[in-house]
Amino acid sequence: MPQEEVKFQARILRKQAGLPRYIVVKPEYVSGSSKSFPARIFLNGTGPFQRNIHPWGKGSDVFFFNLTEPQCRKAGLDTNDECLVTIVPSIA
């Protein structure tokens, strides 16, 4: 898990209506991580939203976290929107 906050641009994705939205996190943003970890998430400065960052699995080195409809609405974002993501790892 990263020790300090990280910021990056990302697109809000969704595989199909009715499923949660999610953001893919490149491995360089979670260096040293190999398992899930809790974090506070900010989207374009709005938040914090408490989320768990999970490895994608299936042979991939990327991570992801889900977003709820209310979280997206609060941040004024929708599926396919680009946003500034800030991940602040929670201290265990």
* 20 within 8 A of 26, measured Cβ to Cβ: no
Spatial contact of 25 and 35, defined as CB atoms under 8 Å apart: no
Domains of the chain in sequence order: 6-89 (2.40.30.100)
Closest by alpha carbon to 49, among 1, 87, 2, 91?
87
Q: For the segment 36-54, what is each residue's pLDDT rounded down to a tens digit? A: 999 999 999 999 999 999 9
pTM for this prediction: 0.91
Q: Is the predicted pLDDT of residue 92 greater than 70, yes or no?
A: no
Average pLDDT of span 6-30: 95
